Structure 1
Amino acid sequence: MGIFCLILGLIILMVMCIKGIHIFISVFTASLFLAVTAWLTSPDGLNPLDAILKIYTTGLGSYFGAFFFIFVLGAIFGKLTAISGAADSVASFIIGKFGERAVIPSLVAACAILAYGGVSVFVALFTVYSMMVSMFKKANLPRRLIPAVYFAGAGTFVMIMPGSPQIQNLIPMKFLGTSATAGLVPGLLTAAFQATLVIFYLSWLFRKVKASGEGWVDGDAAAGKSNATQSAAKDKPQPHVIIALLPMLLLLSVLNILKWDPAIVLFCAIVSALIIYARYLNWKEIIGNLAAGTMEGVISLFNTAVIVGFGALVMKLPAFQESFQAIAHSGLNPLMVTAIAVGALVFISGSGSGALSIAIPLIASMFPAAVVDQGALHRVVTMACMSTTPPFNGLIITVLSVCGVRHKQAYGPVGMLTLAIPLVAMDFMLLLYAVLPASITILGG
């Protein structure tokens, strides 16, 4: 009965999110449903008031406090790359080099480089969206595939690469005491494997679309707003691509070579961006822009934290604990147990970063350094948190909304790129750890 109620709670959350209901209302409703049904099925167990007022809010608050500076400083850095024109400069350079004859590779590359350079995936979306609209129109490609191209670049192989400054690669460092390049060789090989699958899938998808005769259709306000923003951006001087890349390269270098705390690295990146982009910034508006970046980070953090609260509540449910213990004591390889546990929690909570903050402490206590290489755990949990992204994930909902399409139109390809292909890549990584010698897999930790 407990498992049935848990599944029903997930369905409620999924349906509400897909319907466009605000994430907090959706999560709170699903949390309340799970708390009440858990109490009804086991009156001596979880008290609904304690579940909401203590467990849920503690989970939300703990995550908010632990990752406040990473989210806020990351958002401010992304804001500076946007308002200075640096992100546009990098994206335009890449697209210009590839040319309109290679629309899809150029857009995928632009998204990937921005994401690996430390630009928030939300900022990267707004940076490349206007160019995507323009190039999709010229190539007569359907709008519904814009989200797929975006996720192919910013939400697949680049997110699992060792050295990435994205939150999925930073959270394990905090709990496991590892570096951003942990699991270097398996991570790079898996990223290359996943990138290959992504390229083959997109090639097949767009050949199929071209053959069907499906093309661009005008008709949403977002496109008009985007084109207006693009025209305004063209009138503003932008830094040369080399100058634009300098703060991003500094961020990657300090994070991966000096191995400083991610929050300190992001602060240094902000200072360098203020100096290097100085002539391209409107200093009269800089305080307002920094405040806007701060609020964007806080909103993104809050939207993730409310999911973490849901995950914290789920963890206290007898049905979840029984299932988790069954997985943990299944006798499977520790890395396989880790992948299954994290993947399940990601799908349940709808947030990769949120699931990591909940799952890693449990996994680290079960598999200490004496049992499993912590660098291997780091790379596996990073891959696992990107391998079971559900349709009610906050970023997916945001991307579809910005692109002016619905789940029914666009989720098929997006699901292939954020769920099906990553699951295959997860299996590939586990295979690598099974066959490669330890002297290779421990590199980069």
Structure 2
Amino acid sequence: MLSMIGLIGGLLLLIYLTMKGMNLLVAGPLCAIVVALLSGLPLFPQLVEEGMPNYVGNYMGGFSGFVAAWFPMFLLGAIFGKVMEDSGAADSVSKWVVEKLGLKQAVLAIVLACAILTYGGVSLFVVAFSVYPMAVSLFKQADLPRRFIPATLAFGSVTFTMTSAGSPEIQNWIPIEYLNTSPYAGWEVSLIVALFMALFGYWWLKRMITKAVAKGERFEGRKEDPEIENRPLPHPLLGLVPLVIVLIISFIFHDDLKQSALIIALLGGILSTYLLNRKYFANFGRAVSDGTLGALIAIGNTAAVVGFGGVAKAVPAFETAVNFMTGIPGSPLIGGAIAVSVIAGLTGSASGGQVIALPILAPHYIDAGVNAEALHRTIAISSGALDSLPHNGYVVTTIRAICGETHQDAYGAVGALTVIVPLIGLALAIVLFSLGLGI
């Protein structure tokens, strides 16, 4: 009982401190120690046998494991975004979009850019880094409140693309190992759900922005924003080429290299940006330095939350919660969806929710005759809902490190689009599968 209080209390405290703006490098380990103390988890590795759970070991294992796995992608993604910004390539593309679609379609342009890159296999974090400069430029020209930039980036990345059939994102691929399905499992239902989330979410996003503008909110510039007036810009095609190169290379090498394909893709994007637009750079060296610093801040914030998840998974209450949720009676699709969603929320990770729940769920449900494709798609969609609570690594990185906003200003819109919209989409998927569609 005390362990469960610690687990839930630590999570709620982490969400509260995150919303209040506390540095996550402080909030993450602080909330993790609350979970550890109330669960009786030893604090130091010297107090337990080698390999046994302990606060420092589990926290730093999660923290360092994430850094080891993702630092090259964070670094190159941040540098890519900065060189796109410094060369004027992002501004050139944004101006072209404005000319073709009009300022009224600025939000749509950003959503589409994120969706194309995400569905092409580019990491969610990298997409945020890469598209942010264009988003700032478009929001500035359209005079829209910049606090909606994180929601716009997130909506295009982690809703109707990340968990859809055919997506190369890891959230669509993890179930394959456990269910012996394909990345196109349940594609008929997936298509309907994706279209619903895209249309409904975009309508809601536009409505929120329109209401804010009606109340007098406008774009507020910052000194660190790039000055695009009175400077020569490259041709829009020269700005688009690096994005296309990242998309193509990541798609070609994704099957063989998985997430490491992004290293090659981003290097290609950086080199092509430099070679095609080198005469337009304001200061290439400074862009690389700024990108490196931004990557360190971003991955540190994210790893701090991952470390919390490492401690949470080690306490007795976590196993109790998992066993309870995976044993929910009734429709296996509902039970599986609830289990994956809640675990993803506790760990702040969509992939974490799947990896923890599927080894338990898959054998039980497959033996019971549950359609594997329906289960695959339901679990994929459900993993992308509660994972986007305020403490989620991607949410924290996008709002704070990339966009420079606060949770108080930006999370309302982010939560609406990345939690509520996917939950409605999940309910729709379960209904459609229950009616026999796609089975």
Give the conservation status (yes or no) of the 8 Å contact 1:390–1:419: yes
1:53 maps to what in 2?
A: 56
Identify the range of structure 1 (268-277 vs 115-124) with the bigger mean alpha-carbon deviation: 268-277
Give the aligned residue type for 2:204.
Y
Q: SS state of the match for residue 329, structure 2?
A: coil
**CA pair 123-373 structure 1, distance change in 2 beyond 3 A:** farther
Q: What is the rounded CA distance, in whole Å, between the counterparts of 1:249 and 1:202 in structure 2? A: 26
* Distance in 2 between residues matched to 1:339 and 1:280, nearest whole Å: 47
Deviations 1:55-112 (A, max 9, x none): 43444455555x44xx634753674476256665655544432111333323333333
Deviation at 1:328, TM superposition (A): 1.4
- Asked whether the equivalents of residues 305 and 354 of structure 1 are also in contact (C-alpha less than 8 Å), the reply is no
Contact 1:72/1:294 (CA < 8 Å) preserved in 2? no
* Structure 2 length-normalised TM: 0.78
CA 1:73–1:184: 2 relative to 1, 3 Å? farther
1:107 alignment partner in structure 2: 110
Q: Give the one of 141, 149, 152 matched to 2:152.
A: 149
Contact 1:76 / 1:270 at 8 angstroms: preserved in 2?
yes
| Distance across 1 between alignment mates of 2:147 and 2:243 | 31
Is 1:7 matched with 2:1? Answer: no
1:121 matched to which residue of 2?
127
Identity %: 27
Q: Which residue in the other structure is 1:345 paired with?
A: 343
Deviates more, 1:406-415 or 1:76-85: 76-85
Which one of the candidate residues 321, 324, 327 is aligned to 2:325? 327
Deviation at 1:418, TM superposition (A): 1.7
| Aligned residue type for 1:215 | E
Inter-partner Cα distance in structure 2 for 1:263 and 1:183 = 24
Q: Does 1:433 align with 2:433?
A: yes
Distance 1:360 1:370, change over 3 A: same
Q: 1:262 aligns with which of 248, 258, 265?
A: 258
What is the TM-score normalised by the length of structure 1?
0.77
1:196 is displaced (CA, Å) by 1.5
1:98 partnered with 2:62 = no
Q: Does the aligned pair in 2 maintain the 1:255–1:261 contact within 8 Å?
A: yes
1:412 is matched by which residue type in structure 2?
G
Tell me whether 1:336 sits opposite 2:334 in the alignment.
yes
Other-structure match for 1:43: none
Partner of 1:317: 315
Count of matched residue positions in the alignment of Structure 1 and Structure 2: 420
Deviation at 1:13, TM superposition (A): 1.0
Give 1:162's aligned residue: 165
The alignment status of 1:186 with 2:189, answered yes or no, reads yes
Cα distance per residue 1:227-265 (max 9 Å; x no partner): 33x459854566446634542442464368xx4341454
Distance 1:197 1:97, change over 3 A: same
How far 1:166 moved relative to its partner? 4.0
Change (3 A) 1:315 1:245: closer
**Aligned partner of 1:250 among 248, 251, 257:** 248
Partner of 1:394: 393
Aligned to 2:412: 412
1:365 Cα offset (Å): 5.5
1:279 and 2:259 are equivalent in the alignment: no
RMSD of aligned C-alpha atoms?
Answer: 4.0
Instruction: Output aligned runs, 1:228-243, within 5 Å.
Output: 228=227, 230=228, 235-236=233-234, 239-240=237-238, 243=241
**Matching residue's letter, 1:32:** I
Inter-CA distance 282–173: structure 2 relative to 1 (3 Å threshold) = farther
Residue identity in the other structure for 1:200:
W
Greater CA drift, 115-124 or 353-362: 353-362
Deviations 1:337-367 (Å, cap 9, x if unpaired)?
Answer: 2321221122222333444444444444555
Structure 1's 6 and 292: CA in aligned 2 closer, same or farther, altered over 3 A?
A: same
Alpha-carbon offset, residue 201 of structure 1:
1.4
Contact 2:306 2:393 in 1 (8 A): no
In structure 1, runs of 5+ residues without a counterpart are 40-45
**SS in structure 1 at match of 2:225:** helix
C-alpha deviation, 1:412, in angstroms: 2.5
Q: Which moved more, 1:112-121 or 1:234-243?
A: 234-243
Relative distance call for 1:152 and 1:96 in structure 2 (3 A) is farther
Corresponding residue to 1:215 among 214, 217, 234: 217
Alignment match, 1:29: 30
**Whole-angstrom distance in 1 between the partners of 2:355 and 2:285:** 32
Paired residue type of 2:347? S
Compute the displacement of 1:335 (Å): 3.1
Partner of 2:19: 18
Deviations 1:129-168 (A, max 9, x none): 321441342xxx4343333333333342232233434454
C-alpha distance in 2, partners of 1:29/1:360?
Answer: 30
Contact kept? 2:81, 2:291, Cα under 8 Å: no
**CA 1:15 to 1:51, structure 2 compared with 1: closer, same or farther past 3 Å?**
same
Match of 1:227, as an amino acid? P
**Matching residue's letter, 2:188:** V
Q: Distance in 1 between matches of 2:148 and 2:322?
A: 37
Alignment-mate amino acid for residue 134 of structure 1? K
Which segments of 5 or more consecutive residues in structure 2 lack a partner in the other structure? 45-52
Which residue of structure 1 lines up, in the alignment, with residue 49 of structure 2?
none
Structure 1 74/398 Cα, relative in aligned 2: closer, same or farther at 3 Å?
closer
Cα deviations by residue, 1:267-300 (Å, 9 ceiling, x for unpaired): 5535654775563265999999889878866765
Aligned partners of 1:82 and 1:59: how far apart in 2? Answer: 28
Distance 1:74 1:217 in 2: 28
Counterpart secondary structure, 2:162: helix
Q: Is the 8 A contact 1:73 1:297 kept in 2?
A: no
CA distance in 1 between counterparts of 2:360 and 2:230 reads 49
